A and B are shown apart, each in its own frame.
Chain A
Amino acid sequence: MSSTMISSHIPDLDLITSYAQREGTFFSRVSPWTKFTGLLLVILLITLTRNLVICGVLYLIILGLYASAGLPVKKLFAWYTLPVLFVISLVGIMVWTEPGTPLFSLNMGLFALTLTDNGLILIITLLLKALISVTYSLFFLMTTRYQHFSAMIYRIFPSPLDQIFLLAYRYLFLTLSMTGAIFKAVRSRGGGIIHSVRVQGRIFAEVFALVFIRSFDRAERVHQAMIARGYNGKYEAGTDMPKPGLSGFCVIGAFVCAIALIVLMVPNTGGLY
């Protein structure tokens, strides 16, 4: 567990950055713009399709990409906890009232909960879509250098949004580490033991308030230091980034054609409205 890791089900930003900076595989040398366009196209495809087979195949392709980039697959499965819980928390409620052929029924006394084939397909499809999205996102994060991300943020977002984003991204690691350290201190003094809601609430409120106050203190110190070094309100991140080459354009073009073909030819696709 690294210093920035608050909970084991949340992707570890230290580990993600470590893989990103290592640049060990072919994918690390692919233009960040190509990978970013790939992300947009993946999101477009899973938005347009409701076909379980398409979602399954796309998931396996992206999982294959992730594994072939030498990224930690076991960790990835642990990090799936959050998106899976996310889907289950809402769709898990809706799934019981979905019309279709009943598969399983649960008698609750006053009413019965029935799981149908359509309900099951719905939850599996949405789970696959969630896993596709998070796997590709992590693949993108773990194969793209920090400087390239900063340069992308600087070029995509207008000021002052880019400035807040760049500074926040820069100090996220410090803040996560500080929060982790405060929680370790609280736990070592018995703060992890279950108390009443009131006591527990007060302990956590004080920790959170401390995180905010320390963050603001640090913000002021950093601001003064930046002014002393000539900061004029503009934090520039103009790192040169590799542009998508011919092969990059070919991959993007092929992906666009595949999406067009899928939309036109495969049933349960074309969710424009």
Chain B
Amino acid sequence: MAHIHLEDGSFSLFFVLLWWTAAIILVGIAIYLMRSEKKPDRRKITLAAFCTAAAFAIFQVSLPIFGGVHLNLTPLIGILAGPAAGSLVVLIINILSAAIGHGGWGLIGANTLVNIVEVFVGYSCFRLLKTTIPDLFPRAGIATIAGLFCGNIAMILIIIISGVQGVNQSTGQILTGLSLLAAVNMGVAVVEAFITGLIVAYIGKVRPDLLGDELL
């Protein structure tokens, strides 16, 4: 998961509640969409659960590239689980991560919003580019870059709007600091795009049924 690299107590109570409410609304819509399926597929729940466990496990792995980075995998979650189940998956991963100190409890709402953006944009790009770019590797790579880029913008907007408690800087100064972080994140996004492309190409070769007809 791309994370707002802040812990509990960084945002004021108003913004903690605001982002939590926005995230609950989006997750509520995802739950409604999943519940209102005419033919509910119970297999989807089990698959989403394992997707959560796999993504959480991989999220904890530090890659020995550029001195050590960890992957976000949110666009991949979107591609594999779809935007509705993917939104629930990212909320659960954020809760589990907060429990072990990888992000704060109060920041779960804001982080879930950022991740939902990544899931949604990643999935949509991957689906929309189906006819233009049939090859899975570049398509998944582009979808990942697009998803993480939009996630980065969402992250910057959330921090700019909320401010950080105790920081007495102008918006321009905060933006300069955040741009530095966003640039690093985009560097990691390129690595992630390459890896996600390989993962999706590998899955497409070994288990194409996991991607489904609508995405292949």
Q: Which residues of A contact B40 (CB under 8 A)?
A: 233
Is A161 interfacial (CB-CB < 8 Å)?
yes
Segment at the A interface, from B96-104, B114-122, B125-133: B96-104
Q: Which residues of B contact A87 (CB under 8 A)?
A: 5-7
Count of residues in B whose CB is under 8 Å from the partner chain: 85
1/0 per residue B69-85: CB within 8 Å of A? 00101001000100001
Is A99 interfacial (CB-CB < 8 Å)?
yes
Q: Which residues of B contact A223 (CB under 8 A)?
A: 42-43, 46
Q: A219–B47 Cα gap in the complex (Å)? A: 6
A168 x B50 contact (CB < 8 A): yes
Q: A90–B160 Cα gap in the complex (Å)? A: 13
Q: A43–B17 Cα gap in the complex (Å)? A: 12
Q: Which residues of B contact A86 (CB under 8 A)?
A: 3, 5-7, 101-103
Q: List 15 interface pairs A-B (beta carbons < 8 Å), by A numbering.
A: A47-B11, A94-B167, A98-B168, A126-B10, A126-B166, A133-B105, A160-B45, A161-B92, A164-B88, A168-B49, A168-B50, A169-B96, A170-B49, A204-B61, A216-B47
1/0 per residue A178-190: CB within 8 Å of B? 1100010000000
Q: A99–B53 Cα gap in the complex (Å)? A: 44
1/0 per residue A100-119: CB within 8 Å of B? 00000000000000000010
Q: A273–B195 Cα gap in the complex (Å)? A: 41
A273 x B14 contact (CB < 8 A): yes
Q: Which of chain A's residues has its CB closest to B91's CB?
A: A161
Q: Which residues of B contact A220 (CB under 8 A)?
A: 43, 46-47
Greatest chain B CB density within 10 A among A48, A97, A141, A272 is at A97
Q: A172–B89 Cα gap in the complex (Å)? A: 13
1/0 per residue A44-67: CB within 8 Å of B? 101111100001000000000000
Tell me the dominant secondary structure on chain A's binding face.
helix
Q: Which residues of A contact B173 (CB under 8 A)?
A: 94, 97
Q: Which residues of B contact A174 (CB under 8 A)?
A: 53
Is A10 interfacial (CB-CB < 8 Å)?
yes
Given contacts A160-B34, A179-B58, contact A91 B64 (CB under 8 A): no
Q: A55–B7 Cα gap in the complex (Å)? A: 14
Q: A226–B46 Cα gap in the complex (Å)? A: 10
1/0 per residue A119-152: CB within 8 Å of B? 0011001100110111001100100000000000
B198 x A137 contact (CB < 8 A): no
A160 x B88 contact (CB < 8 A): yes
Greatest chain A CB density within 10 A among B7, B40, B88, B177 is at B7
B52 x A208 contact (CB < 8 A): no
Given contacts A90-B181, A168-B53, contact A43 B106 (CB under 8 A): yes
Is B212 interfacial (CB-CB < 8 Å)?
no
Q: A2–B207 Cα gap in the complex (Å)? A: 31
Q: Which residues of B contact A125 (CB under 8 A)?
A: 9, 166
Q: A126–B205 Cα gap in the complex (Å)? A: 47
CB distance from A227 to the nearest CB of B (A): 8
CB distance from B9 to the nearest CB of A (A): 3
A130 x B50 contact (CB < 8 A): no
Q: Which residues of A contact B14 (CB under 8 A)?
A: 272-273
CB distance from B177 to the nearest CB of A (A): 4
B5 x A205 contact (CB < 8 A): no
